Amino acid sequence: MQIDDLSEEEIALIDTRRKAEAATKAATDFHRKALFVAHEFEEWSVRTDEGLTFSTFINTFGYQDKDGWEMYETVNELTRLHGH
């Protein structure tokens, strides 16, 4: 079967499925990255006795990825849930 043999509805269904799979992968990748960053921040925080603020997370800890605010919020939530 060739792509030309598919109806517009079938192509849309495939596209929707691919987008959903990509979104799931992106969410999983971010989750794993957040756990790693939260662990690294925790170790750094213990060594430096620095608390978690956005400014500290970006400027002092040095997190510089484009997802800085989202990662800060996630690390903050993980830290809160952990009881710190």
Confidence of residue 5 (pLDDT cuts 50, 70, 90): confident
pLDDT at 1 over 70: no
Say if residues 34 and 74 touch (Cβ distance below 8 Å).
Answer: yes
User: Rounded to 5, what percent of the chain is helix, strand, coil?
Assistant: 80, 0, 20
Say if residues 47 and 84 touch (Cβ distance below 8 Å).
Answer: no
Q: pTM of the entire structure? A: 0.80
Q: What is the pLDDT of residues 21-80, one digit of tens each?
A: 999 999 999 999 999 999 999 999 999 999 999 999 999 999 999 999 999 999 999 999
More confident residue, 83 or 13: 13
Cβ-Cβ contacts under 8 Å for 33 (sequence gap 6 or more): 71
